Structure 1
Amino acid sequence: MKELIIDNRRIGAEHAPYIIAEMSANHNGSIETAFKIIEMAKRCGADAVKMQSYTADTITLNSDKADFQIEGGLWDGQTLYELYQSAYTPWEWHKPLFEKARSLGITMFSSPFDTTAVDMLEDLNTPAYKIASFEAIDLPLIKYVAQTGKPLIISTGMANDIEIMEAIDAAKSGGCKQLAILHCVSGYPAPASDYNLRTIQDMQQRFGLLTGLSDHTLDNTTAIASVALGANIIEKHVTLDRDGGGPDDSFSLEELELKHLCEASRTCWESLGQVDYGRKSSEKGNAQFRRSLYFVKPLKAGDIITPDSVRSVRPGYGLPPKMYDQVIGKKVTQDVGFATAINLDILSN
């Protein structure tokens, strides 16, 4: 698969990386904050804002049994229901958020976590879907999303190669024609050393799909490095305030960091270019400063050129230094002075 198109934006090796600003729970229960995150993403140059579509009741069960208790990490001490009840994006917000994004000219789509979320997002005419890493093994959900015919991005955190292939097969069997996958480490935050970015190239070859990165490290280094390895899509959590106290704030990018990601990832992609050994446009003015052969003492017409009369120096208006041995022993056809460039028209056998 060479290219993906989301909301008229082409995604692939011939295009700058597609930057997804993941809002997640960083609205912290305020639709006004959600609006501001969309505005920030647009200012920074992101291609899309993504949210997550679930309720506590559609993603888990209201139980305090041990299975549903979170131990350790950012959300230690909460039940799953408590976490998702505080983190979800109310469904009645979706329409105004989509409208806000459209009014600003930035794409918005979402990760659905059950079929009712897919139905709701279809009513809003979402341009694409994202399957979250934790749902990559939910093959019935993937097939249901695929049946919409919309472009689909699947994040692969925690999934092994067999599970990734199963998710891809589910998407294709469901009718998905535009599919991409994201290399991901589902740690919050994740250390850069866990990312093993060379996996991106292996995924491209093994699965034959556009491949990107869902990055949960604390800065942009890993994301930008992934572009050099062929990542076509970069997803990063974003926030207005890393110290805002929300579930995902602490490992999210603030505005200046998101702006840097958008700019630096594009610069990295532009620098990849094509295989090209020719002289570049920025070098043309400096070619004169390369080394060449010059006379370092005056000679009379008919004199034989000896090693002590020639040197390789800058600038580059004379013969190239590789012709030194051919020049030595020849005669000059005219008088030459010190610091005269050596050219074939003043040499004879």
Structure 2
Amino acid sequence: MTGRVFVIAEAGVNHDGSLDDARRMIDVAADAGADAVKFQTFQAEQLVTPRAGKAAYQARNTGEDGGQLAMLKALELAQDDHRGLAGHAAARGVRFMSTAFDLDSLAFLSALDMPAIKIPSGDLTWGAMLLAAARLDRPLIVSTGMADLDEIRAALSVIAFGLTRTETPASRADLAAAFDSPEGQERLRECVTLLHCTTEYPAPLAAVNLRAMDVMAETFGLPVGYSDHTLGTSVAIAAVARGATVIEKHFTLDRARPGPDHAASLEPAELAAMIAAIREVEIALGRAAKTPAPEELANRSIARRSLVAARPIAAGETLSLDNLTAKRPADGVSPMDVWPMLGRAATRAYETDEAIEL
């Protein structure tokens, strides 16, 4: 992870099971300037049962109502495929990542050079996965779609236990004690970034609630980011302006393709434009201070005013708001110093617009 916003170009399963397309997606992510390109690693039989139906968006985007198992089987990539993709990403200068959806896949991915382990929103309540991921002692990016604060706290409690203890927890009380401990809190701050997320594809704007990032940051004292499922790029860019340290965004080679996630994904040119905008916002955010920028200083005398005579003033005449005004340039007495001058006698005569002297 870096000090700047870490942008994850989420390839997910938008390769449609094609290794060639997965490689092309790495090229797109690298060309767009992403920090990482992320896939999904799973064995369908370990992820879903035969009775698991599709979500409404999956049925809508794939054009049929069958179960998840057949859909996911068609989207699997083999372990050797992942190794090849990781090598291709390294050659293109973009970090390889993948989300594990089963414990075997997590163990496999842990041997690859990834900048972080990603916990998907759907697995926020899978304690065994959280514990195993924590015990890898790697940076963790935890998505929080569909969750409330209590569920996030429960997940962080498992992670805190895994980061600080070696035994198997006996109860939720054990987990809560690890979360509440100073060591647990310190390790969470060292390892965990929370991602706000709305688990709908595409996510309607009214359901986004970017202010939830503020709530999570204040509640847990952890860095926050945003996993974006909205159409377009504006919400992801706004999340950066609101303090996101990580942005994750789905992309595709062609949004018109059938498949569960294509419809809510960016096409290559859009991905590049979003990342360019994020980098611009990053620069513009600056630092938490209100001081003049060096580039402003030369404009002070041009844009500000000084006290001048509003009309001819005779020597000895009483100075007042009727015969004093403020005009550019700021090369004399500041208009903020007018108040002590009121009621004084002019020390000399002034022509209209002539700068007043103290």
TM exceeding 0.5 = yes
The aligned counterpart of 2:324 is 310
Q: Distance in 1 between matches of 2:253 and 2:140?
A: 27
Deviates more, 1:134-143 or 1:290-299: 290-299
Gaps of 5+ in 1: 1-8, 345-349
The aligned counterpart of 1:129 is 117
Q: Distance in 1 between matches of 2:95 and 2:113?
A: 12
> What is the 5 A alignment of 1:1-349?
9-10=1-2, 15-61=3-49, 63=50, 67-70=51-54, 72-75=56-59, 76-175=64-163, 177=187, 178-288=191-301, 289-297=303-311, 302-304=315-317, 306-307=319-320, 309-331=323-345, 333=347, 336-344=350-358
Q: Distance in 1 between matches of 2:55 and 2:123?
A: 21
For the structure 1 residues 127 and 286, does the alpha-carbon distance in structure 2 shift closer, same or farther, using more than 3 Å as the test? closer
For the structure 1 residues 159 and 323, does the alpha-carbon distance in structure 2 shift closer, same or farther, using more than 3 Å as the test? closer
RMSD: 2.3
CA positional deviation for 1:91: 2.6
Question: Amino acid of the residue matched to residue 68 of structure 1?
Answer: A
CA positional deviation for 1:187: 0.6
Q: Deviations over 1:229-250 (max 9, x none)?
A: 3221111111122113333111
For the structure 1 residues 190 and 92, does the alpha-carbon distance in structure 2 shift closer, same or farther, using more than 3 Å as the test? same
Q: Distance in 2 between matches of 1:226 and 1:71?
A: 26
Q: Name the TM-score, length of structure 2 as normaliser.
A: 0.83
Identity of aligned residues (%): 33
Q: Distance in 2 between matches of 1:17 and 1:342?
A: 51
For the structure 1 residues 254 and 217, does the alpha-carbon distance in structure 2 shift closer, same or farther, using more than 3 Å as the test? same
Q: Distance in 2 between matches of 1:90 and 1:246?
A: 19
Q: Distance in 2 between matches of 1:323 and 1:144?
A: 67
Q: Secondary structure at the match of 1:68?
A: coil
Q: Distance in 1 between matches of 2:201 and 2:317?
A: 76
8 Å Cα contact 1:304/1:329 also seen in 2: no
CA positional deviation for 1:296: 4.4
8 Å Cα contact 1:19/1:235 also seen in 2: yes
Q: Secondary structure at the match of 2:136?
A: coil
8 Å Cα contact 1:25/1:89 also seen in 2: no
Q: Name the TM-score, length of structure 1 as normaliser.
A: 0.85
Q: Secondary structure at the match of 2:146?
A: coil
CA positional deviation for 1:20: 0.8
Between Structure 1 and Structure 2, how many residues are aligned?
327
CA positional deviation for 1:142: 1.6
Q: Secondary structure at the match of 1:73?
A: helix
Gaps of 5+ in 2: 165-186
Q: Distance in 2 between matches of 1:195 and 1:38?
A: 28
8 Å Cα contact 1:21/1:49 also seen in 2: yes
Q: Deviations over 1:136-156 (max 9, x none)?
A: 111101211222222111111
8 Å Cα contact 2:95/2:114 also seen in 1: no
Question: Amino acid of the residue matched to residue 328 of structure 2?
Answer: R
